[in-house]
Each structure stands twice: as C-alpha cells, then as structure tokens.
Chains A and B, each alone.
Chain A
C-alpha cells in the first residue's frame, strides 16, 4: 500500500510529529508533500482538464509532482487545521485540483450521480486539528470529508485531534486508521 501525505499545516504540531514517528517505526513507503512549500495555482474552473487536456491542468505548477504520486498510490492522507468547520486554504488549493482524479463523465451508484474514478479506487484518511472551534464545526468537517470521499468514490476515515491530545493517543489512532482504510 503506497501512501501519499498532503500536509497543510504551516506550524509544527503533534499530529505531524506523531505521523512521522509512526512512519519511521513501520517503514511504510510514502510520499510527503508539505503544501505551504509548494507552488499550487488555484483552479480557475476553465474546464480544460476535462476536454482540451483530459486529466491534466493546463496551468504549470507543482501539481504534476503530487499527481504522479497519487495516480499509482492507494491511500491519500490529508492533514489540516479545522477552519470554519472545513479545510484550511493550504489543503483546499490541492483538493480543488484533484477533480482530475475522476472522469468528466457520469455514473449512478447507490442513488448518487457521480463521476467514475480515473485511477481506480483509493482510500482517503483525513486528519483535522481542532483549535478554538465552535460547536458543530467538527460535524461539518466530518460531513465535508464524507462528501469528498463519496464524490471521489474512495473509502474514507476522518480523525480529529485537539492540540492537547497526547502524542501516544494520536499515534495509536492514526495507526489504527491506516490499517482500517483500504480501497473498496
């Protein structure tokens, strides 16, 4: 199982440390992308990746590097602070451009109108770091993650941690989740 990590944190935090400890221990093969250090241009919704240049953005940035890791991979792990009950802009800059993971065609599955996956089924593990969030923000974050997984037709799991959570707990939960999520 190859793992692609999209890290949207801009400051040191316990989740990043726990994940790095865990990866060192398990010796899993992974690609690690620190998103705030990458040049990712915003999706302009120009539609070129659908027909003019199928499956590829026509704007030149660092997305091909990420896509070359994701396309053959089986698990995408996203790390983000919870912002307004959703993702931070650092994660969203990549997510907006991941629609090339699906085809510009439609299929109906389990009563949902969806796009078929371009690179087969994968799994998504989304980890959020809560801050001084308002009641309900965590539920919205989980709903958003579930919607993303549904639209990409990926299996998924969401984990949320507070800054005060002990490192051992974070490591244990991430380890459990990595075993649990598998492409369906």
Chain B
C-alpha cells in the first residue's frame, strides 16, 4: 500500500465545532487505513497565532490537502478566502501537483446550497495547478453542532462510513465518486418548509425568552435608532 500524507484544513473560526468534528473523523479514518494525517486550523494563521510562513514546511511533504469548512453567506467564510488567496500568492510552487479535496457543511439540510462554495474550491485547485479530487457537501451541520460523530448514533455511523468511502477514492488519487455524495445528501420536501419554519421560529423565540429577550428586541432595527447604533 502506498502510504499517503494528508493535511486537513479546518475552515471554521470555531475550532471545536462541526467542521472540526468532520476533520477529526477524516483524520482517524485516514490513520486507520495506514496513512498519516494532521489537522490545521486556518483561523490560527488568520489571527497570527501561527506564522503563515511556517505552512511552507507543513505543506511540502504532503500528498493531499483537504479543506473542511462551513458555509458562510452562500460561500467560503472570509478567513478561508483570505487563506486561499494567500496560498495562491505565496505558496504556488509548494502546492503545484498536489491533490486537493473539500468537504463543506451548512446548517440547512440541502446540499445544493454548497455548490458555489465547492466550485470555488475547484477553481482554487485549478488556479494553483493542484489536482482536484472533488467536493462533498453535508446539509444539517448545525444540528451536529460540534457533537462527536461517535455520540450521534446511526447518523454518526453513516457519516463515518461515507467519509470512509470518500477517503478510499482520495488516497488512490481518484475523484470522489458521485455515489458518495448521494449517500450523504438529505432532502427535505418543500411541503415541510412551512411547519419547519414554524418550529424553528418557536425554538428561536423560546431561546430568546430564556435569555430575557422579547420578540420586539429580536426584530429591533438597531441601526435606525441613531443613538444606539452609534457605539
């Protein structure tokens, strides 16, 4: 077996939430399959807790780079775009020829929402002349909210097994099979949107109430109240 070396970039500013849970699962699975994997938090480089220059020596020995990220406002979060721009500017020689994949997750159970994000990852790979192995989308990440997969019962087991299938393709340098995405996709029928909206609104208002916040406060138009808006 050809032992591969993977680096998994966590794109979430929240280091222990769902993207990290997914990255950790991928790392464990890669190691079980006899490969070497490590997790890097992009936010630590964005916040300058770690020097960006240090990435050169981290990336050089890697065979495969993976980005595991949440969806923010329909695409990659700001720190992730910053990171990709900087990689494309400063580390092109180090990236060229390596393999790249992405796993994206969003709160709402509709993986179609992740399409522009995953396309941006593909364009990044092409721009820096990496081999694009494909992207996987998971809808419903907010429900996981950082809970380790092993504590999620059947859902956790399913995600583990789907990631395992994806990794089998990835470590062989093959594009992730579309079948893998099909296994991960959940689609809520549109007919359920209205009861779902009602449930989510009930939950949000109850949460607000527990924090002593009224519905009037929730819907406040802060920046039209001149004094309050000018802090």
Task: List the interface of chain A (C-beta within 8 A of B).
Answer: 42-46, 50-52, 54-56, 60, 64, 67-68, 70-72, 83-89, 92-93, 95-96, 98-100, 103-108, 111-113, 118-119, 133-134, 136-137, 140, 143-144, 147-148, 151
For chain A, what secondary structure do more than half of its interface residues adopt (helix, strand, loop), or is it mixed? Answer: loop
Q: Which residue of A lies closest to B224 (CB)?
A: A71
Mostly helix, strand, loop or mixed at chain B's interface? Answer: helix
Given contacts A83-B81, A89-B82, is CB(A111)–CB(B119) below 8 Å?
A: no
B161 within 8 A of A: no
Contact bitstring B77-105, A, C-beta under 8 A = 1, else 0: 11101101100000000000000000000
> Which residues from A are CB-within-8-Å of B201?
105-106
Contact B116 A147 (CB under 8 A): yes
Question: B120 and A55: CB pair below 8 A?
Answer: no
Interface contact A54-B85, CB-CB below 8 Å: no
> Given A68-B230, A105-B204, A134-B127 in contact, is the A89-B197 Cβ separation under 8 Å?
no
CB contact under 8 A between A113 and B108, given known A72-B224, A86-B75, A96-B77: yes
Considering residues A70, A86, A144, A151, which has the most beta carbons from chain B within 10 angstroms of its beta carbon? A86
User: What is the size, in residues, of chain B's interface with A at 8 Å between Cβ atoms?
Assistant: 53
Quick check: A42 and B78 within 8 Å, CB to CB?
yes
Q: Is B115 located at the chain interface by the 8 A CB criterion?
A: yes
- Contact at B229–A45, with CB atoms within 8 Å? no
A-B contact count (CB 8 A): 158
A105–B128 Cα distance when bound, in Å, is 40
B219 with A54: CB separation less than 8 A: yes
**Residue B220 CB within 8 A of the other chain:** yes
B208 at the interface (CB under 8 A from A): yes
Smallest CB gap from B86: residue in A: A89
* B60 on interface, CB distance cutoff 8 Å: no
The answer to whether B229 and A134 have CB atoms under 8 Å apart is no
Instruction: Give the docked Cα–Cα distance between A87 and B219 (Å).
Output: 29
Are A54 and B218 neighbours in the complex by a CB distance under 8 Å?
A: yes
Are the C-beta atoms of A84 and B124 separated by less than 8 Å? yes
Flag if B222 contacts A140 (CB, 8 Å): no
- From B147-155, B163-171, B178-186, B188-196, the one touching the partner chain is B188-196
- Stretch touching chain A among B22-30, B49-57, B66-74: B66-74
Contacts of A96 in B (CB 8 A): 72-73, 77-78
Cross-chain contact A55 with B222 (CB below 8 angstroms): yes
| Inter-chain contacts of B79 with A (CB < 8 A) | 42
Check if B187 is an interface residue, CB within 8 A of chain A: no
A106 touching B119 in the complex, CB below 8 Å, given contacts A42-B78, A86-B81, A118-B221: no
Interface CB pairs A-B, < 8 A, 30: A51-B208, A51-B218, A54-B220, A55-B220, A56-B222, A64-B229, A67-B229, A71-B222, A71-B229, A72-B224, A83-B81, A83-B84, A83-B85, A87-B75, A88-B85, A89-B78, A89-B85, A92-B77, A96-B78, A98-B73, A99-B73, A104-B218, A108-B193, A111-B193, A112-B193, A134-B127, A140-B116, A140-B120, A143-B116, A144-B74
